[in-house]
Structure 1
Amino acid sequence: MEQVMPDFITYLTNERNASKSTVSSYCRDLERMFQFLDGKGIKKTDDVTPISLNSYILYLEKEGFSISTVSRNVASMKAYFHYAFGRRLIEKDPTRTIKAPHIEKRVPGVLTQEQVTRLLEQPSRNTAKGIRDKAMLELLYATGMRVSELIAVQMEDVNFSLEYVVCRDAERLRVIPLGRKAKEALKFYLKEARDRLLCGKKGNYLFVNCQGNSMSRQGFWKNLKEYARKAGIEEDITPHTFRHSFAAHLVENGADLRDVQEMLGHSDISTTQIYMEMAAGKVRASYKKAHPRAD
């Protein structure tokens, strides 16, 4: 079966335009499947049946793999056998009747706009650290970056005149608009705090810690939790809460879902769809609360 893999990988890369991480995931998933089938005496792609694949899915579930991991494995096997069938390497596609386990969509935790405002007011403007933290929080909320992307921003990634910031994720670069509040906070940080934090050191990272080195995820998370406590926010909060809040507030206020998808760097619009569903849920709740004949 594995002799098909080189051509399948070429197909994923050249025709499906899959990222390196996606290709790696397919390879890992399929290698695990090949080993299982080989252990059952199934050596050829043509010998694979829906029964043997369902046995493999049950094996994954019994081994304690999460529903999302099992679902991803099913997607990998479907892509592989669909490719083999399309290239006439097999007479039947054994995955045609295979279904992935249902994944319940978890509604992400988000802050209200009032909570975000309170939290953004917590960092002190009288210390270099506070000025830096204010700029980081404003940029995080303004762009929806992941914290790993935030701490990786370089000096040249910020364009004040055209009002955008370049975000570097694992796969590609994204250009995200820079709002007025974030722009003001960043300019104040560069004018009043960054050189003080660098302590004479040279560095190209936009945000640096109190020793003049690049910020860490753990350091930023610790600061965020302290500001949330001061703001009286009782919900458990992480840097990703800001990302969810950014997206939810954009959609609530009428932003196009495709634009939000682009800013978040989601490869699939269905991942972004949850924010539209959240917004619709709020509208339904308001309707039921306010309309005299809703109940």
Structure 2
Amino acid sequence: MEIQDLTWIRRYLTYLNVERGLSVNTRCSYERDLKKLQTFLHARTKNLEDCEGNDLFLFLLKEKKQGRSARTLARYLATIRGLFSFLILERLRLEDPTEYLSTPKLEQNLPYVLSENVMDKLLDSTLENQNRGNDSAEKSLDKEERKENRNLVFELRDHAILEILYSSGLRVSELAGLTLKDLTLETGYLRCQGKGNKERIVPLGEPAAQALQEYLKEARSQLLGQKTSGLLFLNFHGGRLTRQGIWEILKKWAKKKGVKENIYPHLMRHSFATHMLNHGADLRSVQEMLGHADISTTQIYTHVSRQHLVEVFRKAHPRAD
């Protein structure tokens, strides 16, 4: 029966890919969770065809005793429910064993965001290396000047990366996958591929567009060297930047700017959404720019925005206390 279970899981993952359009990372997460369930069931001489609600309850209980968080347990249950809904749809099972299982109550963890003052400090466009060389002139520079010129290339790239993350609220994977064809600087927007390969258009602010133009004019060709690539942002070798590479870029940039907060790519996305709402953007527009399929995912930022208003009230109103 182990082979049958694996076949059913593969069919479900194919369905998630073809019918639902879920990303590779999401499907891999589902596969890990389901194989863990399969191992547990086989230890109890059960399988996906004959397991019952109590078997699934004991699986979740075992994971809870091993220290899994409520959020992880909720993810397990959502994955399992999705599988059995599919099996019933395909008439591989008649009844749903997850029917009476309840989702663990989740604490609502509000995302941490940077203040606008800290963001201004982080995005300060003053560059340390102002020796702007070019490909032909670089050969005549001495060793120290070449080093400064190379540092300027990275500064222009890194500044453009931070400006885009904050201007557009992109996920780090979306940023890494941007190509030159995705840019329309004349009208101030870019196109990106989001989760499930869903395409969306996001606007670019003037500082972000200017930082991009400087990067394209003075830095990208030097990173590219003799290679060819359609990717927008390149690493030291002219190849694609990794998530880890972008994370390192933000860390180094924050340290250089004297920002002590822990800076990471998704924090820029959180801050983008919250600052937009603080300044009057409507929830639907922010949802569209973030690429959220469900507006409830976007609504968490309204709580952060309200929290900001409460703090302002308490500081400013003479009878707030």
TM-score normalised to structure 1 length: 0.82
Alignment of 1:55-204 (within 5 A): 55-82=58-85, 93-121=96-124, 124=127, 126=130, 127-169=152-194, 171-172=196-197, 173-204=199-230
Return the alpha-carbon distance in structure 1 between the equivalents of residues 195 and 21 of structure 2.
13
- Which residue does 1:229 correspond to in 2? 255
- Which residue does 1:40 correspond to in 2? 44
Structure 1's 8 and 188: CA in aligned 2 closer, same or farther, altered over 3 A?
closer
| C-alpha displacement of 1:245 | 0.9
Conserved 8 A contact 2:9-2:34: no
TM-score normalised to structure 2 length: 0.76
Structure 1's 85 and 118: CA in aligned 2 closer, same or farther, altered over 3 A?
same
Q: Root-mean-square deviation (CA), in Å?
A: 3.1
| C-alpha displacement of 1:27 | 4.5
Structure 1's 97 and 120: CA in aligned 2 closer, same or farther, altered over 3 A?
same
Q: Aligned letter for 2:275? A: H
Select the residue among 215, 236, 239 that pairs with 2:265.
Answer: 239
Select the residue among 263, 267, 273 that pairs with 2:289.
Answer: 263
1:278 is the counterpart of 2:304: yes
SS class of match (2:196): coil
Gaps of 5+ in 1: none
SS class of match (2:114): coil
Structure 1's 89 and 116: CA in aligned 2 closer, same or farther, altered over 3 A?
same
Q: Identify which range, 219-228 or 171-180, moves more after superposition.
A: 219-228
Q: Identify which range, 257-266 or 80-89, moves more after superposition.
A: 80-89
Provide the identity percentage. 40
**1:50-105 Cα shifts (integer Å, max 9, x gaps):** 33221111122234444333211111222344455677776654323211222323
Structure 1's 90 and 111: CA in aligned 2 closer, same or farther, altered over 3 A?
same
Total equivalences in the alignment = 293
Structure 1's 91 and 117: CA in aligned 2 closer, same or farther, altered over 3 A?
same
Gaps of 5+ in 2: 131-151
SS class of match (2:121): helix
Structure 1's 43 and 120: CA in aligned 2 closer, same or farther, altered over 3 A?
closer
Q: Aligned letter for 1:97? A: Y
Return the alpha-carbon distance in structure 1 between the equivalents of residues 53 and 188 of structure 2.
54
Q: Aligned letter for 1:250? A: M
Conserved 8 A contact 2:166-2:271: yes
Alignment of 1:211-230 (within 5 A): 211-230=237-256
Conserved 8 A contact 1:123-1:131: no
Return the alpha-carbon distance in structure 2 between the equivalents of residues 246 and 153 of structure 1.
19
Q: Aligned letter for 2:278? A: E
| C-alpha displacement of 1:288 | 3.7
Conserved 8 A contact 1:157-1:165: yes
| C-alpha displacement of 1:249 | 0.9
SS class of match (2:61): helix
**1:15-38 Cα shifts (integer Å, max 9, x gaps):** 6x3525455544443343344234
| C-alpha displacement of 1:158 | 0.6
SS class of match (1:171): helix
Select the residue among 259, 272, 275 that pairs with 1:249.
Answer: 275
Return the alpha-carbon distance in structure 1 between the equivalents of residues 228 and 85 of structure 2.
53
Conserved 8 A contact 2:111-2:304: no
Conserved 8 A contact 1:123-1:133: no
